[in-house]
């Protein structure tokens, strides 16, 4: 990205955060992306949050005006727990209530813009944080 593009992203995210209010997210279950017997990613699912979806839609619309598009895949908010699973039985989801979690929630007070570095671990590096109004 160019310096101008980074500045534009920062401006867009800063404006969105200034209009957003603190909201709560709640974990609901453990599951995986990929084959059930060999998931690429193990994650904790998040209970539907209209505030989160509204924030994402606002960002999508603003970025589209700048001819910037976000990922076109369906939005599945989650917390990644593990990646690059190698062996053993992950025993997640799909088996009675085994994948269910006790209620765990937290207030979301900010959003973070990350840069992705596929050749590094961790791949995601925080680039900027944007606090919501309280």
Q: Examine the pLDDT at 37 and tell me if it is beyond 80.
A: no
CATH number, domain with residue 26: 3.90.1140.10
The confidence score (pLDDT) of residue 44 equals 92
* Average pLDDT of the segment spanning 21-49: 89
* Average pLDDT of the segment spanning 24-39: 86
Instruction: Count up the domains in the chain and report the number.
Output: 1
Name residue 104's beta-bridge partners: 27
In a domain, 55, yes or no: yes
The confidence score (pLDDT) of residue 96 equals 45
- The tens digit of pLDDT for each residue in 48-87 reads 999 999 999 999 999 989 887 777 888 889 999 888 766 6
In a domain, 4, yes or no: no
In a domain, 8, yes or no: no
Query: Which tokens hold the place of 42?
Result: 């193990």
In a domain, 107, yes or no: yes
Nearest CA to 14 among 114, 134, 113, 106? 113
- pTM for this structure? 0.81
**In angstroms, rounded to a whole number, what is the distance separating the alpha carbons of residues 103 and 116?**
31
By the 8 A CB rule, do 40 and 32 touch? yes
In a domain, 80, yes or no: yes
Domain that holds residue 58: 18-131
């Amino acid at each position: 990205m160019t310096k101008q593009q980074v500045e534009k992203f920062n401006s867009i995210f800063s404006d969105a955060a200034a209009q957003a209010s603190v909201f709560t997210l709640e974990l609901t279950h453990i599951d995986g992306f990929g084959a059930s017997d060999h998931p690429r990613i193990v994650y904790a699912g998040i209970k539907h949050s209209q505030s989160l979806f509204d924030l994402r839609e606002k960002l999508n619309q603003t970025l589209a005006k700048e001819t910037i598009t976000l990922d076109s895949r369906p939005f599945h908010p989650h917390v990644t727990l593990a990646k690059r699973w190698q062996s053993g039985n992950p025993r997640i989801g799909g088996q009675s209530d085994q994948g269910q979690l006790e209620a765990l929630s937290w207030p979301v007070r900010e959003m973070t813009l990350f840069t992705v570095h596929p050749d590094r671990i961790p791949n995601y590096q925080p680039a900027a944080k944007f606090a919501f109004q309280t």
